[in-house]
A and B are shown apart, each in its own frame.
Chain A
Amino acid sequence: MTFDLTDDQDTLRRTARELCGRLYPMSAVRTFEDRGTVDRSGWTEFASAGMFVLHRDEDQGGLGLGRVELALVFEELGRALVPGPLASTAAAAGVIEQAKPDAVIGIADNRGAAPFTVEHLSSLDWIVAVGRDVVVVDAAAIDRSAVRAGGAPLDPLTPIALVDRLPAGERIGGSELAAQLLRDGALLVAAQAAGAAAAATDLSAAYALQREQFGVRIGTFQAVKHLLADMRVHAELAQVAVEAAAVLIDEGSAEADAAVSTAKVVAGEAATANGRSCVQIHGGMGFAWEVDAHLFQKRAWVLEHLFGTTTDHSRALADGWRVNLEEQGAEHGHS
């Protein structure tokens, strides 16, 4: 057990952070507000850097790395609030033969009753419908009358469509692929949430060191310090939960599914709680559109919804009951 980043992983994280900083400074992210679109050129750049297929085998066009590396990149994407169906695209990358490497792919979980939620519908090239079977649908074939009219999206960077029915498509897999897609999607959304939780902490700390009230910086007040400390706790827990889940998938652990649900629960709560505290610490300005705090809160609410809510994953953890910290690390021998 050495549960820390290797030098290569650290380099990858820094590379991803630099790429996000170059392509998506907040000024650039802001230009997508209310446009409801995906940044095609940035998408192509991510795709050509192999960001969506890090975890795929090299003979499948991937980079032969693991879920861990993918999760590290997704933490950075979440930190930068990069818009787009990133988790769906990476989870489904490689499963659609016809798709170009820089295709924008949405995943629609249609296990339950309609309507299904689809993120960034109008920007998608492909939709992967995950029910009992996995079916690929050409996004251009969507029947517009099956898409419910909705108001402005809660997160101005993430339009969510409610779709009553999807057109017929090509079946590409069964329950095994379905489970894999949902698991990877949940992991990557959790990674984004962990990144957003950390970024909200940094933004709040920076503001608390700069904003003065009652003649002192507000970070002097214990009431503010304690909010910030809790944000840090949430963010760290989220990050390690995500990375542990990714490692356990890579190691083929029987605990992998539970670890992904754990990550989704912990990171989802971290992002939503930290979003709220971020707005709170910014006070009145936190409620202003021009300040980024509300964007973290809103993205957190969206991420919490995608690929299973906190409640869904908490229930899943109870249904597959086995609390066994004593067996962590010990299972299936060693390599």
Chain B
Amino acid sequence: MRLRDTAEDADFRARLRQWLVVAVRELPPVPARDDWSGRRTFDTSWQRRLFDAGYAGVSWPAEFGGGGATPSQQMIFLQETHRAHAPDIGVCFIGLAHAGPTLIARGTDQQKAAHLPKILRGEEIWCQGFSEPGAGSDLASLRTPARIEGDHYVVTGQKIWTSYAPVADYCELLVRTDPDAPAHKGITWLIMAMDSPGVTVRPLRTALGSTEYAELFLEEVRIPIANRVGDENAGWSVAMVTLEFERGTALLGELLTTAEILEIVVRTAQECGRWDDPIVRTRAGRSRADLGALWALASRNVSRTPGPRDVGGNVFKLAYTEARFRLDDLAAEVLGPRGLAFEATRAVSYDPVEERVRSFMFSIAGGTTQVQRNIVAERGLGMPR
């Protein structure tokens, strides 16, 4: 058991750190939150820089153009990019973390060749069309039907919570191809070009006031059968590939962000005198313990090959959400009346007020806290379903 870098990892870290110093210095100004075309340009040009330096898709297997990094190197990559205040994955998220890995696992050679290099170079942005107004936690109950006409699927329906839809080129789309089969057995995974006729994107304003999600309205959209990933009606197992892929490190970037929020909270408390309050200090120390333990948990999860009943990712998400809420509340306490308004400028890297509102997504997106608990109890502890 070791936490210290091996010689190889230390070398990886040193080279990355050195590269980041220069790369970050040359960054253009950060675009405004809802300036989507500006964000696409910013995020994709950073992705291109990563690609040129050999750091694109650091976790992808080398044979598909990725970095082939070990889990510990993936952690180092996240640590170092945060440390350097480099941009995060941004609008490239679904392509790099969801669609790409899914194509690697289940795509045809043609699909891989068409998309993987572009995803890595930041030339292709993806969004996710999974949830529907009637299918949230119970994703398998999704209804959006697809029928075959010639060599196309024809899709009419509605998707919701489609992240990055305003700037996406492709959508990983789950559709119902067999309405009579059991819920999990009638779903198909399709690659849908967002410029297909019949696709309408309507931004969905979140509780933050932001628009990174959208509703997707599909009206007789024609998708080539060649764009199907996996077999017809096998889409559920294709979608699960992604979830398995992201198990280890999905929330690691968020954990590092959280450590930054804690630093901001402490600095703020020290500046405004709240740090003299022993209760504030105790709560800050408690949050520090949360983050340290979560880092240890992430290290354990990525060091282990998950077994079939593994619930490491679910446990991490539950623990992270609880720690995050605790910290967000402390931040509000320390900020006092300043916690009642968002930061006026977007110049600060993190606004604790914004983060407090954003935190809802941790207990809801990707499986609510309640669904996660069911999974941990049923799969992890053998409770009856």
Q: Using a CB–CB distance below 8 Å, which chain A residues touch chain B? A: 1-6, 9, 68, 201, 205, 208-209, 216-217, 219-220, 222, 224-226, 228-230, 232-233, 236-238, 240-241, 243-244, 247-248, 251, 253, 258-259, 261-263, 265-266, 310-311, 313-319, 321, 323-335
Contact = CB atoms under 8 A, between A and B. Distances in A.
A316 to B, nearest CB: 7
B6 A334 contact: yes
Contacts of A248: 3
Contacts of A333: 5, 10
Interface stretch (B21-29, B95-103, B201-209, B284-292): B284-292
Chain B interface size, as a band, is 35 or more
A1 B80 CA distance: 15
A244 B299 contact: yes
Contact of A318 (B1, B281, B304, B375): B281
A23 to B, nearest CB: 26
Q: Which 8 A-B pairs have the closest CB atoms?
A: A225-B377, A317-B285, A314-B285, A318-B285, A244-B296, A229-B373, A1-B72, A229-B376
Interface string B245-288: 00000000001100100110010000000000010011111101
A209 B382 contact: yes
Interface of B: 1-7, 9-10, 13, 72, 75-76, 79-80, 82-83, 255-256, 259, 262-263, 266, 278, 281-286, 288-297, 299-300, 303-304, 311, 315, 318-319, 322, 370, 372-378, 380-384
Nearest to B13: A330
B382 A2 contact: no
B315 A329 contact: no
A334 B304 contact: no
Contacts of B79: 325-330
At the interface, is chain A mostly helix, strand, loop or mixed? helix
B2 A251 contact: yes
Given A2-B303, A229-B376, A9 B80 contact: no
A162 B290 CA distance: 32
B304 A4 contact: yes
A332 B384 CA distance: 49
A324 B256 CA distance: 9
Contacts of A331: 4
A232 B315 contact: yes
Given A5-B1, A226-B377, A334-B10, A240 B300 contact: yes
A240 B290 CA distance: 12
A319 B278 CA distance: 10
18 contacts: A1-B2, A1-B5, A209-B383, A226-B374, A230-B318, A233-B322, A240-B297, A240-B299, A240-B300, A244-B293, A244-B296, A317-B286, A318-B284, A318-B288, A323-B259, A323-B262, A324-B259, A325-B295
Nearest to B280: A318
A226 B370 contact: yes
A207 to B, nearest CB: 12
A262 B289 CA distance: 4
Which of A201, A240, A313, A316 neighbours the largest number of chain B CB atoms within 10 Å of its CB? Answer: A240
A265 B382 contact: no
Contacts of A243: 1, 296, 300
A21 to B, nearest CB: 21
Contacts of B1: 2-6, 9, 68, 243, 247
Contacts of A326: 79-80, 82-83, 256, 259
Nearest to A72: B1
A229 B285 contact: no
Given A1-B3, A243-B296, 15 more contacts: A1-B6, A4-B1, A5-B1, A229-B376, A241-B293, A248-B3, A258-B288, A262-B293, A315-B281, A323-B259, A323-B262, A326-B256, A333-B5, A334-B9, A335-B4
B338 to A, nearest CB: 21
